[in-house]
A and B are shown apart, each in its own frame.
Chain A
């Protein structure tokens, strides 16, 4: 493929130009890698010393200058898992409808338009919606449940589009074989299509989970409080959550210098949690693709 220049000056110029431009492209790619490395490295370097067993398992103490972030971890896990528990069934059912039933009908076009636009709604608008609908209109108050439901709406598009992708990957002849054996469409979907598509859907579920866990603006007015050290025992109680805790530590508190190690520590835990989930999803998807390639 390589066009190595002829002898004329012009072609040498062209080859030089290509080399120059390609290094610009390489530089651009390098900047991305550097950016990720710098942020992660910075947080690892500053955050690791703060990570102790106590930090992970204790409540904040002494006006947040000591103790740990256990209630925030618990809150974030509840919020994200709860959102997934609501959004995953809804998302998968939507995807099944879009891919298995609706085909290219006009209805499905509207639904897809809805999904696409829902994906583009800014998180702060989800927050406003959650506040006026779930918190006030549905009278849930600032609570775990209101946060879960708002986050569920937020992560719905991710789950739908990955689930649809997974369904599309299921070979048509699998379905045909099932029909040929006399199964109805719903039996085929439950017995054949969903199991085949499940690992792919799982990728979407993890991505949705990670999105919900890292989100701040949505839960700010729907689910979180500044300080509530008790374990969460009810869906109608507000919780502490890692991203909001991070925000609070970084912008308020009487003694920001004293909470600095805790800020780094919290940022690192949040980063590891969210990035870990994403990495998991990426590895899972990679495996699937390789398996499919192998068949």
Chain B
């Protein structure tokens, strides 16, 4: 039995370093960027049979953290890197290099049966800080508003906090969901709910609300009139080289990656 254990451990030790050299691009980060990279990644692997990708989605902070810890080669992020994160990465000898790959609009959504169609940025802030608690105040039915938010550590939440909440805090009664998909799930099943999701997650189980009289869409996001728009990024350690460069070029190619950006429901960059 000891022999078996010893053999097993020895096996691990001998084989591990050999395998560690096998090249695989690890991609980690924002669940907002994830669907794009997954779709583009699939196409990339089909186009380059030798290459291999592994994609995880823990959130923007997670991706940047993993990049600076050397746990991944590409970080996906739905927000810019923070100064503190850059400092931490540089302290570890990693130099985060930013690549914008698409535009995204955050869209407030409600259940399709909800009559409310229009809202202002101020009203959104009041809903999320707990000042407005009944749909009646927004011209809807007399029902409590169930506020659904993204988890406080997501890039989506941080964008929301920055653009909508300004300095006010999101009320603790808001339901914190771990992903865009979970928000979709929660809002589509609840007539009293309001949530916000990335543009790419819109589907007909939800109704999008106009903000300040503007309809969320590719044009309004690109020309800057949609108030809650943001760029989506990839971060690499220094300018991408070799296989990584191939991947990034593929993502930015208007006929390849950018086409999938549109398919997923995000807004391709204007060249």
- Chain A residues with CB under 8 Å of chain B are 61-64, 85-86, 89-90, 92-93, 141-142, 145, 224-230, 233-238, 248, 251-257
Bound CA–CA A129/B268 (angstroms): 42
Q: Is the CB of B19 within 8 A of A227?
A: no
B residues 38-77 in Cβ contact with A at 8 Å: 38-39, 41-42, 45, 52-57, 71
Q: Inside 8 A of B181's CB, which chain A residues have their CB? A: 251-254, 256
With A238-B54, A256-B185 already in contact, the answer to whether A227 and B41 are too (CB < 8 A) is yes
* Selected A-B contacts with CB under 8 Å, 24 pairs: A63-B38, A64-B38, A85-B8, A90-B5, A141-B71, A142-B71, A145-B16, A225-B54, A225-B55, A226-B34, A228-B53, A229-B42, A229-B45, A233-B19, A234-B15, A234-B16, A234-B19, A235-B16, A236-B16, A253-B181, A254-B180, A254-B181, A256-B181, A257-B203
The prevalent SS among residues of B at the interface is: helix
- Chain B residues with CB under 8 Å of chain A are 1, 4-5, 8, 12, 15-16, 19-20, 22, 24, 26, 31, 34-35, 38-39, 41-42, 45, 52-57, 71, 177-182, 184-185, 200-201, 203, 205, 264-265
- Contact count A vs B, C-beta below 8 Å: 98
Q: Is the CB of A228 within 8 A of B8?
A: no
Q: Is the CB of A228 within 8 A of B55?
A: yes
Q: Which residue in chain A gives the minimum CB-CB distance to B177?
A: A251
Q: Inside 8 A of B22's CB, which chain A residues have their CB? A: 233-234, 237
CB distance from A244 to the nearest CB of B (A): 10
Q: Is the CB of B19 within 8 A of A235?
A: yes
A256-B181, A256-B185 provided; 19 other pairs, C-beta below 8 A?
A63-B35, A63-B38, A142-B56, A225-B26, A226-B38, A228-B52, A230-B54, A233-B22, A237-B22, A237-B54, A238-B56, A251-B179, A251-B182, A252-B179, A252-B182, A253-B35, A254-B201, A254-B265, A257-B205
Q: Is the CB of A93 within 8 A of B1?
A: yes
Q: Is the CB of A237 within 8 A of B24?
A: yes
Q: Inside 8 A of B20's CB, which chain A residues have their CB? A: 234, 236
Of all A-B residue pairs in the complex, the 7 with the closest CB atoms, nearest first, are A234-B19, A228-B54, A252-B179, A252-B181, A225-B56, A227-B55, A226-B56
